[in-house]
Amino acid sequence: MSRRIVLGSVAALAVVGGAGAFVLAYAGEQPPALTHSTARYTAPAGDRAGSLTFTTDVTAASGVRSLKVLAWPAAGPFAKKGLTEKELAAAETARCEPAGGDTARCTYKVTVSAADASESHGLWHVATLATAKSGDTAFDDRATTFTVG
């Protein structure tokens, strides 16, 4: 094999390898992604409190730092003015456990009293703010919905 072919092949491998490294670096900079989001609402009954449980899988190349969760009524104040990422940053944090690879299974559960449920009929949305260990964030003001009443 001639020296020119060998050097050309090495240069081509360097370019292809560099492009591959760029693709991997770019993939690492993607914001966190939520999948399989579900909300389960159980109404209070008798002397038993109800509950809202939100579960989702969060995937982030650098790992998952946190997931903030806020349930809000579709007919409430956020319906007109919109919910912002800044407002959601002060919301409660879900509990996240490793689920393999770069994914964490996050669960948020809150107790619902009979008094709260009686004032909260209708469609509700669950908003989320996922934060990766790299600092990248993903905001979704309607990750899933559920109905009260």
Q: What is the pLDDT of residue 24?
A: 47
Residue range 32-148, CATH number: 2.20.130.20
Q: What is the pLDDT of residue 7?
A: 38
Residue with tokens 């609402």, as numbered in its chain: 41
- Of the given ranges (13-17, 59-63, 95-99, 135-139), which has the lowest mean pLDDT? 13-17
Q: What is the pLDDT of residue 28?
A: 52
With residues binned 3-state (H G I as helix, E B as strand, rest as coil), the percentages for the chain, rounded to 5, are: 25, 50, 25
Residue 26 has pLDDT above 60, yes or no: no
The count of C-alpha atoms lying within 13 angstroms of the C-alpha of 144, restricted to the half-sphere facing its C-beta, is 17
Average pLDDT of the residues of the chain? 85
pLDDT band at 113 (very low <50, low <70, confident <90, very high): very high
Identity at 125, one-letter amino acid code = H
pLDDT band at 82 (very low <50, low <70, confident <90, very high): confident
29 vs 117 pLDDT, higher one = 117
78 vs 68 pLDDT, higher one = 68
- The sheet with strand 92-93 has its strands ordered as 92-93, 64-73, 122-132, 137-148
Q: What is the pLDDT of residue 145?
A: 96
pLDDT mean over 85-101? 95
Domain boundaries, the chain: 1-30, 32-148
